[in-house]
Amino acid sequence: MEYREALAYIHGFQRFGVRLGLERVRSLLDRLGRPHDGLRVVHVGGTNGKGSVSAMLASIFQAAGLRTGLYISPYVEDFRERIQVNRQFIAQPDLARLVSEVRPAVEAMVAAGEESPTEFELITAVAFLYFARQAVDVVVLEVGLGGRYDATNVVADPLASVITQVALDHTDRLGQTVGEIAGEKAGIIKPGGVTVTSATDPDALAVVESVAREQGNRLFRLDREYRFEERSASYHGSIIHFEGPLGRLENVYVYLLGRHQQQNAAAAICACQALSSRGLDLGETAIRAGLQEVRWPGRLEVMSWNPMAVIDGAHNPAAAATLARALEDLFPWTRLVLVLGVLADKDAAGIVKVLAPLAGRVVCTRPPGPRAMAPEALAALARNHTRGEVLVAPTVGEALERGLDGLGRGELLCITGSLYLVGEARPWLRERLGTDQAAVSPEF
């Protein structure tokens, strides 16, 4: 099987949709020899911030000299982003070979009258096989959806469970309240382990506390067992002081932009300190180096300083509010131009309500994929929340052209609403604006 054939085979499982549950993935992994059993895993869930925390942890582990696997979803540009070892994407031949190996196991399941695995379950099985074959020291495993019934939750004894901020998202599958959603997220907490959470919503925190107590976990909570203090924040990153289970770290530089990344960094540092009780000792040098060297595409990422262009995958109202605060805090723009594209199963009205009032122009477009919301419907929502110009562009390329059109000095272009939109916009902007634009020092 060639790489393109492997991708086509994987994507063919989209027809089975999203079906939460562990029976199918367990059956598949049993047929593959249970490759996940021998892995040391840090499991990361939550609504917002789990990807950033996962990237930070992986960067710290690698800086500590550990051979580190990273499993994330979704990807931004390249499917192989989902499965990495030491920040290197899985090679095309390796992916093709592993898919060829998994395929007979899938066929055996179906022949035995079992349900076919979903696309995500198939990818998860491939990832576990790859990490086992690569003899990684540790795996950072990001939850795909929810937690309790997510395919990644076959891991029986994670080194640590990390639960980031919990907010309303995927309410059709996870629950109608933050507390209900937190219950699904807290499903990754396993008996006798360590749990770190940055959840601050009282209902969410109460649920995490209850589950951690029931499972006999040592729990580390933001502003209780660990805390941080901002020293500075700018378009160059942040500097924080941190205090946690193993003491205080001063003047820690966080490369990723935005005050929300300070909170994510604090959770990652706390997890690293807490892991000492599970036999994984990570020194201060590795923590500092990892947070300085971490890269996380598509999350408040500056693509160009002249003109100013930023991309961010905010796809729910809480993430949109975080983005809005960051735009106002970090960038001295005189007018904001939004290129906005949202999936139909997201709270588009909530996202628009937060972002559109900031914008002097909103260009609504359609993200790639069948789940995209019609740009005309998105524009109708935007017109209720801005006095600025609202345009409709049928393609992402046309939307970016309209966003850049007439963009003057001191004006900021922000592309957001979906990582699928960001994934198409990112290479377009690199080609149009130049690959070195983001490295140029800003002159405001």
Judging by DSSP bridges, how do beta strands 237-244 and 194-197 pair with one another?
Answer: unpaired
Residue ranges of the chain with per-residue pLDDT less than 50: 437, 440-441, 444
Give residue 155's pLDDT. Answer: 97
At the topology level of CATH, where does 3-293 sit? UDP-N-acetylmuramoyl-L-alanine:D-glutamate ligase (3.40.1190)
Q: What is the pLDDT of residue 172?
A: 75
What's the token pair of residue 79? 């499917």
Q: Residue 434: what pLDDT?
A: 78
3-state helix, strand, coil in the chain (%, to 5): 45, 20, 35
**How far, CA to CA in Å, does 305 sit from each of 87, 276, 414?**
26, 41, 12
**DSSP 8-state code for residue 363:** E
Distance CA 407, CA 426 (A): 18
* Pairing label, strands 237-244, 247-254: antiparallel
- What residues form DSSP beta bridges with 312? 416
pLDDT at res. 5: 97
92: number of Cβ within 10 Å:
15
- Cβ contact 124:106 at 8 Å: no
349: its two tokens: 């009205």
Q: Is the peptide bond before 307 cis (omega within 30 degrees of 0)?
A: yes
Q: What is the pLDDT of residue 440?
A: 47
pLDDT for 16 equals: 75
Which tokens is 192 given?
């006798």
Q: Cα-atom radius of gyration of the chain, to the nearest Å? A: 21
Evaluate the CA torsion angle 268, 273, 277, 278 in order and state its sign.
positive
Q: Which CATH superfamily is domain 301-438 in?
A: Mur ligase, C-terminal domain (3.90.190.20)
Note the pLDDT of residue 138.
98
Q: Where are the domains of the chain?
A: 3-293, 301-438
- Predicted confidence at residue 173, as pLDDT, reads 81
| pLDDT at position 442 | 53
301-438 matches 3-293 in CATH topology: no
List the structure tokens of 298.
């598509």
